[in-house]
Amino acid sequence: MEEGEVTETVESLIEEVVDTASVEPIVEPVVEIGDQLQAIIGKSDTTYSLPAAVDTNFVHNIGFFERSDESAMSYLNGQYLTEQLLESSPTFNGEYYIKIFCELDSLKSVGAYEEYVRNLDIGMMQVADAFVEGIIQLDDQKQILLWSINYSTYEACPFASGAAVYGTLLDNYEVKNTMLLAEVSSGGDPPAWGDTNVSIEISAELEINTYWINRSGEDEGPADVIEETYATRIGATGFELDDDY
């Protein structure tokens, strides 16, 4: 076969391959966001990058009394984000704050809150409000939605007040689960008193370390101090406690 004939044959084969080949375009999957989650995310105007710290300074800087209604959450939002809640002994109060917020906000939704306040007694919760605080971007698929609850009891003894920040893990905008990230709380019934501080740090490698400290005592005398540190990982189901904890 002459050189020219070889060239023509090769070109003919190439044309046949091009004509008959079926090349499917690469189409990125469309990520759908549920209406309720979209409404909650829409309340956020701040995005944080890694490494990130959600600590007591973060809580103190929130400024709850200066918040706008645009970032406020409803009890339906709270119930939706906490269908799966990671609980551990240093953060056992986290579920209680959510329960109180949902109860009080549901009273507001039906116009029964003022009547509730008029019948408050000592030790009963008077205020519990929740707000969206922002988003920590973990990678292209995962985010942590930050939201908070501040609370206080009827102004009498015993008393309690504080604030807690939660993180809800989103994977492709699917809610996985929620855990308490930070807390600043205090209370007492004189002469007894106590306070709790919780902080977390998230590394660029997605390692999460939680630091918990509880102090208690009486007006006269030394304080008892308990400190704990534990680790959390981000796994297939969401936030997961390390097996060693």
Mind listing the pLDDT tens digit for each residue in 69-105?
A: 789 999 999 999 999 998 766 667 889 999 999 999 9
- Could you state, in order of their start, the residue ranges of all structural domains in the chain? 31-181
Task: Supply the pLDDT for residue 237.
Answer: 86
Task: Supply the pLDDT for residue 124.
Answer: 86
Task: Supply the pLDDT for residue 3.
Answer: 52
Task: Supply the pLDDT for residue 245.
Answer: 46
- Quote the pTM value: 0.83
Q: Are strands 47-48 and 125-137 parallel, antiparallel or unpaired?
A: parallel
Task: Supply the pLDDT for residue 190.
Answer: 86
Beta carbons within 10 angstroms of residue 77's beta carbon: 21
Cα distance between residue 218 and residue 209, in whole Å: 31
- The backbone torsions φ and ψ at residue 222, rounded to the nearest 5 degrees and listed phi first, read -75, 160
Q: Are strands 159-171 and 174-189 parallel, antiparallel or unpaired?
A: antiparallel
pLDDT < 70: residue spans in the chain: 1-32, 64-65, 88-91, 243-245
CA distances to 39, 108, 163, 218 from 230, in Å:
33, 37, 21, 28
